Amino acid sequence: MSIVLAEAEEWRESLKETFTGLVPDHVRGSGPVGRLAKAQLGEVSLFTVVGEPQTLRRSVAQSRRLPTDLLKVCIQRSGSAVVQQGDREVAIGPGQMALYDIARPYALRLEGSWRCDVIAFPRIALPLAERDIATAMRNRAPTHGPGQLLTALVRNVISEGCASGSQQLASAAVALVAAAFAGSDHVPADRDAQRLRVIAFIRAHLSDPDLDHNMIAGAHHLSPRSLHRLFESEPNTASQLIRSLRLDAIRRDLSSEQHVDESIATVAARWGIYDMAGLCRRFRSLYGMTPSDVRPVRPRGGGR
């Protein structure tokens, strides 16, 4: 996909829609402008973004209104950037990259005539333990070794558009991110590798209504207690992860025009949930709204 120029207000709307509520500061009058191109590899999104000096921000309000489980990597090709998130500030220049969590509020301060390659992917796809992800987000990584391969992959996919073998390329891109931030010799510890296999199993069987703690334990020749210990250092247990991923999938489908004619019960059943009262209660607790609230607004007069 080619890079398309966007003037001030169009640029603001493009950023907001593409990057989950990210907007430039001070967009009055002419305002900052920029350009972007996008390609998709399964659940991995790739972007090239170009612009003039500006600060881009995802606010607390946007983080609450548009929840996400994505991590993002910014690869600086020209100019410079500072990633600010919580008490963390990481500065990168050409040939460097930073990892950050777009589920939380953050700001990007971009200087000079800047150009960035950006990769966004689900947090659980990254084959690193949570402690290693936290460490990676406090450091910048170079674009040589695995980083060089990652940069080449992003540029080639962006220039070619959607590629064949997209799922394999998506897995390769995330593996290169892990290698770049953890070192090219990084091999997950046995416990981490086993947990990642369990997470992959959960994602593959998410629509199965019988998916639960005992089913997962049996499929991996673990006792239920051993499976519980496998997730002790993680923010979610296996059962909590199932619920979270199912709610995310339901929210994604309900907010899509593609599923606008399906009932909430039909969408929920597709992801293994049949208890509507429980769904509404958990949905409101997690997202601050009901399943009906995320549905696209139908035009009046009977039209779609």
Query: Which H/E stretch holds residue 226?
Result: helix 224-230
| pLDDT digits 0-9 by tens, 84-93 | 998 899 999 9
Block residue for tokens 């909430």: 264
Q: Distance between alpha carbon 171 and the CA centroid of its chain, in Å?
A: 14
Q: Which residues of 252-265 are buried (b: 16+ CB within 10 A; e: fewer)?
A: ebbbeeebeebebe
| pLDDT digits 0-9 by tens, 37-79 | 888 887 899 999 998 899 999 999 888 888 888 999 999 999 9
The angle formed by the CA atoms of residues 214, 215 and 218, to the nearest 5 degrees, is: 85
User: Which residues neighbour 107 within 8 Å (Cβ) at sequence distance 6 or greater?
Assistant: 55, 56, 57, 58, 83, 84, 85
- What is the domain-level CATH number for residue 195? 1.10.10.60
**Are 259 and 227 found together in one domain?**
yes
Q: Which domain holds residue 119?
A: 4-182
Q: Residue 277 pLDDT more than 50? A: yes
User: Which residues neighbour 238 within 8 Å (Cβ) at sequence distance 6 or greater?
Assistant: 198, 202, 213, 216, 227, 228, 230, 231
Q: What is each CA distance from 102 to 13, 21, 38, 82, 290, in whole angstroms?
A: 18, 10, 18, 15, 23
SS3 of residue 198 by DSSP: helix
Amino acid symbol at 171 = S
Q: What is each CA distance from 206 to 101, 139, 168, 283, 290, in whole angstroms?
A: 24, 34, 20, 17, 21
Residues 1, 37: contact at Cβ < 8 Å? yes
302 domain residue, yes or no: no
**Are 114 and 31 found together in one domain?**
yes
262 domain residue, yes or no: yes
Q: What is each CA distance from 32 to 21, 77, 136, in whole angstroms?
A: 17, 19, 30
**Are 206 and 231 found together in one domain?**
yes
The DSSP bridge pattern shows strands 4-6 and 34-41 to be: antiparallel
Q: Which of 63, 120, 122 is nearest to 287 (CA)?
A: 63
| pLDDT digits 0-9 by tens, 48-59 | 999 889 999 999
19 domain residue, yes or no: yes
What are the tokens at 214? Answer: 């005992």
| pLDDT digits 0-9 by tens, 122-163 | 888 887 878 888 889 999 998 888 888 888 888 888 877 655
**Are 18 and 126 found together in one domain?**
yes
Q: How far apart are CA 262 and CA 302, in angstroms?
A: 16
What is the pLDDT of the chain when averaged over all its residues? 84
| pLDDT digits 0-9 by tens, 98-120 | 999 998 999 999 999 899 999 99
Domain boundary among 122, 150, 182: 182
- What is the domain-level CATH number for residue 56? 2.60.120.10
**Are 59 and 199 found together in one domain?**
no
49 domain residue, yes or no: yes
Q: How confident is the model at residue 184 (pLDDT cuts 50, 70, 90)?
A: very low
Q: Distance between alpha carbon 178 and the CA centroid of its chain, in Å?
A: 15
| pLDDT digits 0-9 by tens, 232-261 | 878 889 999 899 889 988 988 888 887 888
Residues 147, 141: contact at Cβ < 8 Å? yes
**Are 263 and 148 found together in one domain?**
no
Q: What per-residue confidence (pLDDT) applies to 100?
A: 95
The whole-model pTM stands at 0.64
Q: Which of 98, 167, 170 is nearest to 135 (CA)?
A: 98
Q: How far apart are CA 256 and CA 147, in angstroms?
A: 34
Residues 227, 237: contact at Cβ < 8 Å? no
Domains of the chain: total? 2
